[in-house]
Amino acid sequence: MGEMIRLTADDGHTLDAYRAPAVGTRRGGVVVIQEVFGVNPHIREVCDGYAAAGYEAVAPSLFDRVQPGVVLDYDDDGVAKGRELAAAVGWDGPVKDVWAAATALAPDGRVGLVGYCWGGSWTWVAACRLKVGAAACYYGRHIVEFLDERPNCPVILHFGAEDHLIPLENVETIRAAFPGIPIHVYAGAGHGFNCAARPSYRADAAAIAFQRTLDLFNEHVSPQSPD
């Protein structure tokens, strides 16, 4: 459905990205922010899903700063390699790459951000450091480390109640720090509940979270949005 494109960040770094054009009337743009497994088939499917809902979607390859073309399997080796690459790429460079994707979709950067796993944390950081339309963070376990930063746009957070990587105490810490941010906790769902390629996939939770995220983008990203 989509294609690979090239983006250039404001520091001159060039990177690959997957782009899925909007189906039908274009409602706006969405930047899809990868897990530690790279811009893999799941992330491309997420882009295609938002495209089917009317949003042009772009997923930048955030690991290109340290290793181009990364696509990892959902296994122990993939997790270990992905965490190694995420630690190497850090936080500042990916924010630049997210902004490159955002401005490719809308010159003023008014897009939706949605990220998963490590990408959920990158989404939080990007929402705090950039000016975008809205952001949705799925099971970002590092968000709790960035509570001294405040989002510049409407944000929602999605967590699984059975996430072995994110204690519910951390979720409540985030809730206490930002009582105005909607935080949804899905009963019976674990880490990666949105990904059909993972054993932890929960179709019911994924569908509800997608609709909530779509509602957020329809309100704050679409051209008819009031803000």
Catalytic pick among 97, 128, 137, 191: 191
Give 145's DSSP letter. G
Does the CA dihedral 142-143-145-149 come out positive or negative?
A: positive
Query: Which helix (H) or strand (E) element contains residue 158?
Result: strand 155-160
Write down the residue that tokens 């803000």 correspond to.
Answer: 227
Residue 149 · residue 156 · CB < 8 Å: no
Active-site annotation holds for 13:
no
Distance (Å, whole) CA 68 – CA 143: 26
Catalytic pick among 47, 117, 128, 137: 117
Active-site annotation holds for 195:
no
* Gyration radius from the chain CA atoms: 16
Which two three-digit tokens encode residue 121? 């944390």
Residue 98 · residue 61 · CB < 8 Å: no
Which two three-digit tokens encode residue 91? 């936080």
Which two three-digit tokens encode residue 57? 């979607």
Active-site annotation holds for 47:
no
How would you label 89-127 residue by residue, b for 16+ Cβ within 10 Å and e otherwise?
A: beeebbbbbbbbbbbbbbeebbbbbbbbbbbbbbbbbbb
Residues catalogued as catalytic: 117, 163, 191
